[in-house]
Amino acid sequence: DTEVTQTPKHLVMGMTNKKSLKCEQHMGHRAMYWYKQKAKKPPELMFVYSYEKLSINESVPSRFSPECPNSSLLNLHLHALQPEDSALYLCASSQPLAGGYNEQFFGPGTRLTVL
């Protein structure tokens, strides 16, 4: 299985809602990532988990809360989002860096719209 899956594919939520994005991989990767991508822009790194521990938080607002319950799953909990948070949210996974190749495999993304 060389796939990263993300659910849901699309999500529409109000600014007072609480929702979660889910990501799953079964490639044995021990590093997982959340990216945010606005239209016609490159992905922006949000969080990195390495061996189920948060290793990088790129100064993301607290209304985004990541969670890595096990080595195959990565969640992104959303609360009190703003309309400008509407974007494509991408999950990726890789082997942790040890030099050389550390190719990230991306999921198909969740298209989030905040009303």
Q: How far apart are CA 2 and CA 17, in angstroms?
A: 33
In whole angstroms, the minimum distance from the beta carbon of 9 to another protein comes to 9
Pick from 42, 59, 70, 84: which binds another protein (CB under 8 A)? 42
CB of 37 to another protein, least distance (A): 9
Q: How far apart are CA 68 and CA 80, in angstroms?
A: 21
Find tokens 């999500």 and name the residue.
Answer: 11
Choose between 16 and 59: whose C-beta lies nearer to another protein.
Answer: 59
SS3 83: helix
Binding site for another protein (CB under 8 A): 4, 6, 40-45, 48, 50, 55-56, 88, 90-92, 97, 99-109, 111
